Amino acid sequence: MAQRVAVIGCGQFGMVLACHASHCGHETSLWARTPDELAPLIDHRESPRLTGVRIPASVIVTGDAAAALAGASLVITAIPSQYARRIWSVLGSHLPDGAILVSVAKGFEMTSLLRPSEVLREICPQAEVIALSGPTIATEVAKGLPTALVAAGCEHAGGVVKSVLGGDSWRIYTSRDLVGVECAGAIKNVIALAAGMIDGMGLGLNAKATLLARGIAEMARLGVALGGLRDTFFGVAGVGDLATTCFSPDGRNRTLGERLGAGTSLGAALDSMNSVVEGVDTCRAVIDLSTRHGVEMPISQAVHRVLFEGTPPRTALLELMRRESALERI
């Protein structure tokens, strides 16, 4: 049955979500925050952030939050983690009673170290919050190429998300492990930064495969310490999303890491990106959380040294390679 879907945020994935919901036959609105964001979407039905993707005429593009959210049964928030509290503190009063709030953000809030769903529950306690995560490079999803995602949270609400957004190109699994799914989506961006550095230094696929294997071990260790289930990290939302992010030329975190590995400074690399790279702030949060919970995360620590302590990527790599090896463990 057709639903009314509201997508909040017009970044790359927000645009793709609005297009996908419309193609699924749902009445869809797309909310953008500023006139500069709205203008190209209304005038040309395209965004400079995702060229070549045309927004269907059936999608209502608006800067009026009340209009965007009115009557929506499913509200998808594609606001980056660091801005969600500020924006939803304003928009929350317009959220319809009974609406399911679906978060696709991948990160932690810097000031509180909370997961996106925890922030949303503080602001919108009346809503059932679902995390939707998985391998979703926007350029591929926009072309209708197949992927799988996980809708995590309340079983009933996850089932609704599955029925509304699932289809021939989107296979949606459900999970009760909201903590694990959100942790996997956040931490994998830090590992993707390291994967990009390997690409920028031209170190080859053996090095990258090793990084992914040990990276998923780090993700699982911290995720379990935070309350997630280990199995989640070896599924679609974990290793599936990690592999895509680390290998895709369109992955923002991998791309930023590649530029760092090639010798570009962090400031210049960030200035060259046209979208928020969540892994940078997430790296700070991951180190804080790993310290708080006593979890060893050498790859994440190496990325932190490169980003914030001025350590050259090659030096960070050598420090990792010279660590004493022991019995492999996950």
Catalytic residue list:
188
Structure tokens at 71: 């009557």
Residues across the chain: 330
**Type of residue at 14:** G
The CA distance from 239 to 188, in Å, is 8
Contact 195, 306 (CB under 8 A): no
Contact 131, 185 (CB under 8 A): yes
Contact 199, 261 (CB under 8 A): yes
Residue 1: C-alpha distances to residues 71, 78, 160 (Å): 15, 24, 11
Q: Are strands 74-77 and 100-103 parallel, antiparallel or unpaired?
A: parallel
Contact 308, 300 (CB under 8 A): no
The CA distance from 290 to 115, in Å, is 15
Largest CA-CA distance found in the chain, in angstroms, rounded: 59
The CA distance from 257 to 262, in Å, is 9
Residue 241: exposure state from Cβ atoms within 10 A (0-12, 13-18, ≥19): buried
For residue 304, give every residue at least 6 positions away whose Cβ sits within 8 Å of its Cβ, in sequence order, or none: 283, 284, 286, 287
User: Which of 101, 96, 150 lies closest to 121, judged by CA?
Assistant: 101
